[in-house]
Amino acid sequence: MDPTIASAAEAVPRVAVEYDGGDMDCGSGLLLAITTRMRSIDVGEVMLLHTREPSVLADLPAWARLSGHDLLAVQPERPAAGPWRLWVRRGSPRTAWSAPAAQPAYSSGAPAPLGSRLWLYSNFHCNLACGYCCAGSSPRALPRLMPVELAGEAARQFAELGGRELLITGGEPFLHPQLDELTAVCADRTPVTVLTNAMVFGKGRRRAMLESMDRSRVTLQISLDSAGPTLHDRQRGAGSHARAMDGIRLARSLGFGVRVAATYRPEDVQQAGDLHRVLSDLGIVEDDRLIRPVAHEGFADGGVEITLDSVEPEPTLTVDGAWWHPVAITDDHLKVAESPLPLADMYSVIRDVVSVQRAAGAEGRSVFRCT
Ligand code: SF4
């Protein structure tokens, strides 16, 4: 059927799923959204897509061809103008996919092969409210606690699928009242890294949670933005630098492996040299240091733009969904699924998207390193 013939709409089969893409183009999330919808219907069934974005008329035929689907018809909703309706029949998607090649990044490193690691948001509230927080966390943020049982089931499925490392982030994970149990059920399956600002685990119940963790299976990744307090406290709040330093020393004294992550805007990144010297004094080796840029997500008023095409996927679960990348957790365009499980469904959607991107020769993606 000629997809340019508007009247062909009358001839298409019954619509099994309908999606309004609004103004989204394929780079800003439409690709992910329609891939998810196509996976929800059977081969031979039809998706009806509404769009107001003219570039979709050029991109969708290529996506359909590369995905193994048939674009049946395109029809303007108003004569000679958009918005448009497009009917796509599900074919047998091409599933060939291989691990992405290494690409340059802000900190050096290769992308983790898809499926090798998984991010879990344990909670979204935090004792801080950093100006660049990609998660929009603060003391007032809704906790959105991940139940221990959900984390355990995610870890089980992840390990069965061949996963090798779980990363627990937030918010501040040590504000989760059961972080010890949550970390333990994950560490039973794979090594775990807990991302923390290291400011709240010095005493009381949180100290006990920290001390209960298995040092052979749990690594701490601690945020420290500068050698001295000026920049760190400007970005994270007065007094936070000294408490983070105390936290690093405590974690090391308790026998934890410690990585340190710093976040810099371009105008500040020259300060990284001083930070490296301080980290050497603390005994943090170079492989355990990460210098990363601010991402334009959450509270940040600028920074690296995070899109499907600009970052490699780093699958991420929250209590209420699955996402393309942990720094894009406030961006609904990068939500992969409305439910965190089953994990295999999330991977299928992401692999379909990556396959199409690869097949189309998408270029320019980079690795936004978080570990
Ligand atoms: S960047 Fe980290 S420490 Fe700062 S508000 Fe966000 S979650 Fe909390």
Phi, psi of 73 (to 5 degrees): -160, 150
Question: What does each C-alpha distance from 188 to 48, 53, 165, 202, 215 come to in angstroms?
Answer: 44, 47, 11, 25, 12
For the ranges 6-20, 242-256, 273-287, 355-369, which has the lowest average pLDDT?
355-369
pTM: 0.80
* Residue 250 sits in the same domain as residue 335: yes
Residue 328 sits in a domain whose CATH number is: 3.20.20.70
Last residue of a domain, one of 89, 105, 134: 89
User: pLDDT band at residue 370, thresholds of 50, 70 and 90?
Assistant: low
* Residue 67 sits in the same domain as residue 123: no
Q: Which of 132, 133, 330 to mutate to test the pocket of ligand 1 (most atoms within 8 A of CB)?
A: 133
Rounded to the nearest angstrom, the distance between the alpha carbon of 356 and the centre of ligand 1 is 34
Q: Is the pLDDT of residue 95 over 50?
A: no
Flag whether 105 is in a domain. no
User: pLDDT band at residue 11, thresholds of 50, 70 and 90?
Assistant: low
Tokens representing 224 are 């420290």
Mean pLDDT for the stretch of residues 150-156: 98
Flag whether 99 is in a domain. no
* Residue 337 sits in the same domain as residue 267: yes
* Residue 158 sits in the same domain as residue 287: yes
Q: How far is CA 357 from the centre of its chain?
A: 17
Express each pLDDT in 24-76 by its tens digit.
Answer: 887 667 888 888 888 788 888 899 999 998 888 888 887 787 677 888 888 88
Q: Is the pLDDT of residue 5 over 60?
A: no
Q: Which residue blocks in the chain are alpha helix, DSSP H?
A: 30-39, 55-67, 148-160, 179-187, 204-212, 229-236, 240-253, 272-282, 343-359
Q: What pairs with residue 262 in β-bridges?
A: 291
Flag whether 98 is in a domain. no
The larger pLDDT score, comparing residue 227 to residue 310, is at: 227
Tokens representing 129 are 């409210």
* Residue 224 sits in the same domain as residue 279: yes
* Residue 84 sits in the same domain as residue 141: no
Express each pLDDT in 162-172 by its tens digit.
Answer: 999 999 999 99
* Residue 159 sits in the same domain as residue 63: no
Last residue of a domain, one of 89, 109, 140: 89
Residue 34 sits in a domain whose CATH number is: 3.30.110.40
The pLDDT value given to residue 64: 81
Q: Which of 197, 235, 263 to mutate to test the pocket of ligand 1 (most atoms within 8 A of CB)?
A: 197
Mean pLDDT for the stretch of residues 192-213: 98
In terms of residue numbers, what domain contains 158?
117-359
Q: Is the pLDDT of residue 366 over 60?
A: no
* Residue 159 sits in the same domain as residue 49: no
Mean pLDDT for the stretch of residues 136-158: 98
Q: Which of 132, 134, 137, 297 to mutate to test the pocket of ligand 1 (most atoms within 8 A of CB)?
A: 137
Rounded to the nearest angstrom, the distance between the alpha carbon of 195 and the centre of ligand 1 is 10
Most confident of 102-111, 140-149, 285-294: 140-149
* Residue 73 sits in the same domain as residue 141: no
Most confident of 83-97, 331-345, 348-362: 331-345
Alpha-carbon span 138 to 171, nearest angstrom: 7
Flag whether 371 is in a domain. no
| Residue of the CA atom closest to atom 4 of ligand 1 | 130
With tokens 């199409």, the residue in question is 356
Output the ligand 1 site: residues, CB below 6 A.
126, 128-130, 133, 135, 137, 170-172, 197, 223, 236
Rounded to the nearest angstrom, the distance between the alpha carbon of 367 and the centre of ligand 1 is 21
Q: Is the pLDDT of residue 99 over 60?
A: no
Express each pLDDT in 241-255 by its tens digit.
Answer: 999 999 999 999 999
Alpha-carbon span 204 to 209, nearest angstrom: 9
Q: State the closest ligand 1 atom to the C-alpha of 128, by its place in the atom list counted from 1.
A: 5
| Residue of the CA atom closest to atom 7 of ligand 1 | 171
Flag whether 365 is in a domain. no
* Residue 78 sits in the same domain as residue 171: no
Alpha-carbon span 145 to 151, nearest angstrom: 10
The pLDDT value given to residue 313: 93
User: pLDDT band at residue 81, thresholds of 50, 70 and 90?
Assistant: confident
Flag whether 317 is in a domain. yes
Q: Which of 120, 123, 130 to mutate to test the pocket of ligand 1 (most atoms within 8 A of CB)?
A: 130
The pLDDT value given to residue 191: 98
Please state the domain count of the chain.
Answer: 2
Neighbours of 98 (CB within 10 A): 10
The pLDDT value given to residue 150: 98
* Residue 208 sits in the same domain as residue 342: yes
